[in-house]
């Protein structure tokens, strides 16, 4: 049980270094707090815009087409014919904001007369109309290439809907937190190599498998505790888990193992402690960002989206979000699961091969 | 059977030849020192013998086991104290020793008893339960040496075991290593020539990856230092006398008010007679003993630094 002895030692090194451990667990928590306070209540995905076309004219239809073509909007379907239908959807939480195109809109435009549009929004999202109004105004003034006297009125509605950002944030932040493991797994290996301790261990009869298990197993409890903390803090902050909690946990756990694999590769390739502690941040934060840890990736350039989708992180975040917020089951997330399990297996295999090679240079 | 044998052992790092075709033959129970300037290839040689580096050419055997073909057999027999202190900073001394002992398959009781002995010998008993990250450099090095010995290996590799130790701790480590002479095979590298002189049965001088001389310390000094040196304290040393001395002997220097005279054919009687004849008053004259460092400087042309 040589791996057990090496693992015990590494676990002691880990929990007896409160600064590193605090950083490992505390940094994602700090991010959760900062982001949830800074952006709480604000939905940063393409704005889901309802449209009520009371006018039903040719001009209003062209205007609706124009609005639908704007990437910042996700125009809900179908286009409502009456305000009552949109009100119901607003009350049900399916919409946060809708635009009312009143009777006579087309005629007023045709005759270059002043026209009035109304934006009705949920009072729980006070910033939303500030983002929507200039876009609507621009669209309305530009869609026929003629200046139209236009008045966009705001109408606040008292609707209680849940804060969705925390539901979005927590799975992303949990994956980001697990990505920090890369620096810890790699760091302990590099530190031991730089100080000659790994060389000392390599002169003992320990086999490559003893090292691989000895340097990774201590992080299993760290992964479990981290996930429990992130989800626990999330629940305290209003995260509503609709789906299977265990499945969400499993997704994050596999992601943690995947990050351990990356850490092992880093630990084998990095030449110095500085490289192991600094270099990972050059890819952890950008990768978390383009994978949608904090903001949706829909509005990012397609090249960036393609890169993110080729990597495992976005798949883990999406699968976790689908389970937590939409309640989807195991079979529905299988394509995502296959993707990052494949990555995990490949990264671990590469890590083992590189480590074995490093043992006999 | 020899404890350590190497056959044309060579290690290249790209275009640099760190170790160049060396043949070592170290008998069981022998204390063998590998001496050489920085970058001479000492640590690379040890790393190949400990299965940490693969030779580019040639082979090495430890107690008959090939370091490439049977590394696990080799690793069961050896204990290594690397040049870096190589200890686990967040563990205490007992835990560091237990880790190595248990990886070598020792029982908890055996590890405990052996660790107690070693901590005592190394003067670390009182601080045994303190985390070693708080230790001084000397204490860390003593623990590192103890970790190499905890599983009672038959062959010990000690890479600079006294580097950074104060004279007292260095002397204590020497004494402990001296006690192991004859019982263990020890391959030692050191910068301290008096250490190699005091401890070694045999010494090999390595420079630019090649063994340039090998033998017992006394034998090396006798073979390589043909020049004799005398230190003379005398009065009435005139310029004329100095001129005469320089004509007779290959090296004449004034060092701290004394004359330091070296020559291959230096004869004590002849020198003092000459000084007397030229009117000088000799107060004392002493023959300087050659040291291993003199041998090294003569062979490699390089001085050692701590």
CATH number of the domain bearing residue A142? 3.40.1710.10
The last residue of a domain, from among A133, A157, A181: A157
pLDDT of residue B32: 95
Q: What is the CATH number of the domain that holds B140?
A: 3.40.50.300
Number of domains in chain B: 2
d(CA A276, nearest CA chain B) in Å: 18
| Alpha carbon distance A68, A212 (integer Å) | 54
* Cα separation of the two ends of chain A: 25
Share of chain A above pLDDT 70, in %: 88
| Alpha carbon distance B101, B78 (integer Å) | 12
Q: Which residue has the higher pLDDT, A161 or B3?
A: B3
> Is B134 inside any structural domain?
yes
Q: Which of A216-225, A239-248, B86-95 has the lowest mean pLDDT?
A: A239-248
* Cα separation of the two ends of chain B: 35
User: Tens digit of pLDDT for each residue in B126-159?
Assistant: 998 999 998 988 889 889 999 999 999 999 999 9
Q: Which of A105-119, A134-148, A223-237 has the lowest mean pLDDT?
A: A134-148
Say if CB B241 and CB B275 are below 8 A apart. yes
Q: What is the CATH number of the domain that holds B268?
A: 3.30.70.980
Q: Number of Cβ pairs closer than 8 Å across A and B?
A: 76
A153 shares a domain with A30: no
A326 shares a domain with A210: yes
Say if CB B88 and CB B95 are below 8 A apart. yes
> Is B297 inside any structural domain?
no
A69 shares a domain with A31: no
pLDDT of residue A160: 42
> Is B60 inside any structural domain?
yes
pLDDT of residue A162: 45
B306 pLDDT tier (thresholds 50, 70, 90): very low
> Is B302 inside any structural domain?
no
Residues 6+ apart with CB under 8 A from B97: B111, B114, B115, B118, B119, B143, B146, B147, B150
User: Tens digit of pLDDT for each residue in B28-43?
Assistant: 999 999 988 888 899 9
Q: Which domain holds residue B243?
A: 226-289
B241 shares a domain with B165: no
pLDDT of B169 over the 50 cut: yes
Q: Are A204 and B52 in contact (CB < 8 Å)?
A: no
Q: Are A199 and B131 in contact (CB < 8 Å)?
A: no
- What are the chain A neighbours of B80 within 8 Å (beta carbons)? 200, 203
Q: Are B131 and A196 in contact (CB < 8 Å)?
A: no
Q: Which of A94-98, A170-174, B270-274 has the lowest mean pLDDT?
A: A94-98
The last residue of a domain, from among A119, A134, A157: A157
pLDDT of residue A13: 86
Q: Which residue has the higher pLDDT, A296 or B107?
A: B107
Q: Which of A28-32, A216-220, A285-289, B183-187 has the lowest mean pLDDT?
A: A28-32
* Number of separate helices (H) and strands (E) present in chain B: 11, 15
Rounded mean pLDDT, A329-352: 88
- Burial (Cβ within 10 Å: 0-12, 13-18, ≥19) of residue B181: middle
B152 touches chain A (CB under 8 A): no
B55 pLDDT tier (thresholds 50, 70, 90): very high
Share of chain B above pLDDT 70, in %: 97
Rounded mean pLDDT, A7-28: 82
A213 shares a domain with A352: yes
A186 pLDDT tier (thresholds 50, 70, 90): confident
Q: Are A196 and B88 in contact (CB < 8 Å)?
A: no
Q: Which domain holds residue A143?
A: 47-157
């Amino acid at each position: 049980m040589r791996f057990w002895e090496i693992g015990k030692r590494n676990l002691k090194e880990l929990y007896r270094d409160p600064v590193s451990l605090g950083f490992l667990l505390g940094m994602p928590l700090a991010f959760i707090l900062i982001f949830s306070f800074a952006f709480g209540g604000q939905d940063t995905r393409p704005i889901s815009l309802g449209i009520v076309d009371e006018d039903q004219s040719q001009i209003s239809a062209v205007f609706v087409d124009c609005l639908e073509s704007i990437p910042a909007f996700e125009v809900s379907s179908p286009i409502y014919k009456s305000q009552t239908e949109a009100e119901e959807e607003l009350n049900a939480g399916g919409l946060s904001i809708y635009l009312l195109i009143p009777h006579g809109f087309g005629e007023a435009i045709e005759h270059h007369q002043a026209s009035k549009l109304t934006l009705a929004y949920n009072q729980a999202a006070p910033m939303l109309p500030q983002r929507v109004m200039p876009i609507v105004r621009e669209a309305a003034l530009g869609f026929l290439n003629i200046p139209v006297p236009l008045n966009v009125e705001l109408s606040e509605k008292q609707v209680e809907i849940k804060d969705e950002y925390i539901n979005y944030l927590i799975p992303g932040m949990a994956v980001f937190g697990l990505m920090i493991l890369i620096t810890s797994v790699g760091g302990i290996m590099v530190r031991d190599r730089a100080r000659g301790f790994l060389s000392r261990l390599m002169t003992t009869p320990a086999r490559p498998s003893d090292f691989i298990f000895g340097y990774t197993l201590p992080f299993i409890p760290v992964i479990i505790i981290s996930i429990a903390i992130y989800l626990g803090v999330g629940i305290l902050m209003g995260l509503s888990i609709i789906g299977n909690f265990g499945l969400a946990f499993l997704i994050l756990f596999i992601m943690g193992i995947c990050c351990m694999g990356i850490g092992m590769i880093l630990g084998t390739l990095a030449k110095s402690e500085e490289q192991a502690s600094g270099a990972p941040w050059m890819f952890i934060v950008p990768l978390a960002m383009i994978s949608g840890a904090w903001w949706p990736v829909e509005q990012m350039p397609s090249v960036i989206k393609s890169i993110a989708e080729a990597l495992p992180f976005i798949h883990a975040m999406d699968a976790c979000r689908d389970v937590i917020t939409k309640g989807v089951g195991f079979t529905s997330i299988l394509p995502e699961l296959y993707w990052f399990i494949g990555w995990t297996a490949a990264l671990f295999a590469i890590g083992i091969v590189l480590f074995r090679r490093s043992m006999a240079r | 059977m020899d404890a350590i044998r190497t056959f044309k052992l060579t290690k290249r790092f790209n275009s640099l030849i760190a170790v160049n075709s060396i043949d070592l033959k170290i008998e069981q129970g022998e204390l063998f020192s590998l001496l050489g300037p920085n970058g001479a290839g000492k640590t690379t040689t040890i790393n190949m013998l400990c299965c940490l580096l693969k030779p580019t050419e040639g082979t090495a055997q430890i107690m008959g086991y090939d370091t490439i073909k049977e590394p696990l057999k080799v690793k069961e027999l050896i204990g290594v104290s690397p040049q870096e202190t190589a200890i686990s900073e967040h563990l205490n001394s007992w835990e560091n020793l237990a880790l190595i002992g248990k990886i070598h398959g020792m029982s908890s009781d055996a590890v405990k008893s052996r660790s107690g002995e070693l901590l005592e010998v190394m003067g670390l008993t009182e601080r045994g339960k303190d985390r070693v990250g708080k230790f001084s450099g000397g204490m860390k090095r003593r623990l590192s040496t103890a970790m190499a010995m905890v599983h009672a290996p038959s062959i010990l590799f000690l890479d600079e075991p006294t580097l950074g130790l104060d004279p007292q701790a260095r002397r204590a480590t020497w004494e402990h290593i001296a006690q192991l002479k004859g019982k263990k095979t020890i391959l030692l590298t050191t910068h301290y020539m008096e250490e190699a002189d005091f401890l070694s049965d045999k010494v090999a001088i390595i420079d630019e990856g090649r063994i340039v001389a090998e033998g017992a310390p006394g034998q090396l000094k006798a073979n390589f230092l043909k020049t004799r040196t005398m230190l003379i304290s005398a009065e009435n040393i005139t310029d004329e006398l100095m001129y005469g001395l320089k004509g007779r002997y290959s090296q004449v220097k004034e060092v701290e008010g004394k004359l330091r005279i070296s020559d291959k054919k230096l004869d004590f009687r002849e020198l003092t007679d000459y000084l007397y004849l030229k009117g000088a008053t000799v107060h004392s004259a002493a023959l300087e003993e050659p040291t291993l460092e003199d041998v090294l400087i003569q062979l490699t042309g390089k001085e050692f630094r701590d």
